[in-house]
């Protein structure tokens, strides 16, 4: 069976984890957490990176950093996304306002955002689907004119850029995921990227249960105390050690994923040219990270048949995201602004093919051969 995903692993991880255990440094904000934070800061150019227990928690932390966000406030986001994008804001009592996506990138359509803005709008949450950037210049311009916060859901976007800027560093806050299905993993984990130095202290406090313990550890104060609401969003340093081994070879992992992506693309181009399937689009100015390779079938019926056919041939392909506005919680907590022209239709056509660090190019050729067979 060719798996859909295999969690990434780097050789050195085991030694690093043993070191954590031997030195009895397994709690949060230890040496490996610091190394990961610094690596991400250096690589992306963000003012501050804080490792978290998940991207979900990074987004919650960001939602807690939007001043006075609460019931009645609105947050604009796509409905074609993972539930965490909305959950973080629903937990604060805010209403997700879903706008339609662009059919080419599956990202929120930037041309539809401004008409969804009301007096109660407080933030925009672009999701960089498949590591392909949203149209951030337009989004940042709308946010500036309406005084809205921008929180990038860059769960899939590490190592990808928009007009030279790392995804996750353009909005006020950016959220990475290190779940085992992402390009780099720590089992469960994530990171909050903070663009402005002025927001760092507040973020550190909320992440440390509402205390100024981070300042205390740096020796800036003599004792720490409870100064705001907060929670606990620190991962164990063992998880960070597992991740750090991958960050050290981040370029190699990224190149391997891009090679797989290109192999799929080249192999499947004739099918696309014959009008049988559609392939992903990467707009000019966007450099992606090979997070995902998807194709689009004619409709949901053809997609179901295709998944079955691939399964018979020992290939595990998947789809995802029931659009949030059609889910029970989405109906209860959110609303869709405007017309759902593409969100439902395109999500029903999309099929994700196996993609992971370590997938062989010969396996990609085999998968593409089976796809050609199906369409013959």
The residue ranges that bind ligand PLP (CB under 6 A) are: 54-56, 81-82, 84-85, 127, 153, 155-156, 177, 179, 190
DSSP string of 109-173, one letter each residue: -GGGTGGG--TTEEEE--B-GGGPPP-HHHHHHHHHHHT-EEEEE-TT-TT-EETTEETTSSSSE
The answer to whether the beta carbons of residues 262 and 154 sit under 8 Å apart is: no
What are the structure tokens assigned to 376, written together?
Answer: 């013959």
Distance CA 58, CA 234 (A): 10
Distance CA 246, CA 266 (A): 28
> Can you tell me whether residue 352 is helix, strand or coil?
strand
What residues have CB less than 8 Å from 360, skipping those under 6 apart? none
Q: How far is CA 76 from the centre of its chain?
A: 17
Distance CA 12, CA 301 (A): 45
Q: How far is the CB of 280 from ligand PLP (least distance, A)?
A: 15
Q: What are phi and psi of 177, to 5 degrees?
A: -115, 140
Sole residue written with tokens 């999500």:
347
Which of the 8 DSSP states describes residue 278? B
């Amino acid at each position: 069976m060719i798996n859909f995903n295999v969690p990434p692993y780097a050789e050195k991880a085991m030694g690093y984890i043993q070191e954590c255990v031997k030195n009895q440094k397994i709690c949060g904000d230890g040496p490996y957490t610091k190394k990961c934070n610094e690596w991400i800061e250096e690589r992306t150019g963000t003012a501050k990176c804080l490792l978290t227990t998940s991207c979900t928690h990074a987004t919650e932390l960001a939602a807690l950093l939007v001043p006075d966000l609460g019931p009645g406030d609105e947050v604009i986001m796509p409905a074609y996304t993972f539930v965490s994008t909305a959950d973080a804001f629903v937990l604060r009592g805010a209403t997700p306002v879903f706008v339609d996506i662009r059919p080419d990138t599956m990202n929120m359509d930037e041309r539809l955002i401004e008409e969804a803005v009301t007096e109660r709008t407080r933030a925009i949450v672009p999701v960089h689907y498949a590591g392909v950037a949203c149209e951030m210049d337009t989004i940042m311009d709308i946010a500036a004119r309406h005084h809205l916060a921008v929180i990038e859901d860059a769960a899939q976007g590490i190592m990808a850029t928009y007009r030279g800027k790392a995804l996750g560093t353009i909005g006020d806050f950016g959220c990475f995921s290190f779940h085992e299905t992402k390009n780099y993993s720590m089992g469960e984990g994530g990171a909050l990227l903070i663009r402005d130095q002025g927001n760092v202290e507040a973020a550190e406090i909320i992440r440390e249960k509402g205390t100024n313990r981070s300042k205390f550890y740096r020796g800036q104060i003599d004792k720490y105390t409870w100064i705001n609401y907060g929670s606990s969003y620190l991962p164990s340093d063992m998880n960070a050690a597992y991740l750090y081994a991958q960050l050290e070879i981040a370029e190699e992992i990224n190149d391997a994923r891009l090679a797989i992506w290109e192999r799929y693309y080249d192999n499947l181009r004739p099918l696309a040219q014959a009008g049988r399937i559609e392939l992903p689009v990467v707009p000019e100015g966007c450099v992606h990270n090979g997070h995902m390779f998807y194709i689009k079938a004619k409709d949901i019926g053809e997609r179901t048949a295709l998944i079955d056919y691939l399964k018979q041939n020992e290939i595990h392909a998947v789809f995802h995201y029931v659009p949030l506005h059609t889910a029970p919680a989405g109906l209860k907590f959110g609303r869709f602004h405007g017309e759902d022209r593409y969100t439902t239709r395109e999500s029903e056509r999309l099929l994700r093919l196996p993609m992971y660090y370590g997938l062989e190019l010969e396996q990609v050729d085999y998968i593409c051969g089976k796809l050609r067979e199906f369409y013959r």
